[in-house]
Amino acid sequence: MPRAPIPTWCFALVVVRRGDHFLIVQESKYGQPWYVPAGRVEQGESFASAAVRETLEEAGIPVRVTGIIRVEHSPSPAGARMRVIFLAEPTDDTPPKTEPDDESLGATWVTLDELANYTLRGDEVTELFSFVANGGIIHPPDIIQAEGVPYCAAGRSS
Question: What residue spans define the domains of the chain?
Answer: 8-143
Based on C-alpha coordinates, what's the Rg of the chain? 17
Q: How much is the pTM?
A: 0.92
Contact criterion met (CB below 8 Å) for 46 and 30: no
Contact criterion met (CB below 8 Å) for 144 and 12: no
- Check: CATH 3.90.79.10 for 8-143? yes
pLDDT tens, N- to C-terminus, the chain (158 residues) = 788 888 999 999 999 999 999 999 998 877 789 999 999 999 999 999 999 999 999 999 999 999 999 999 999 999 999 999 999 999 999 999 999 999 999 999 999 999 999 999 999 999 999 999 999 999 999 999 999 999 886 554 44
Q: Residue 5 to residues 47, 91, 130: CA-CA distances in angstroms?
A: 21, 39, 38
DSSP letter string over 47-67?
A: HHHHHHHHHHHHH---EEEEE
**Residue 62: partners with Cβ closer than 8 Å, 6 or more residues away:** 52, 55, 56, 90, 91, 92, 94
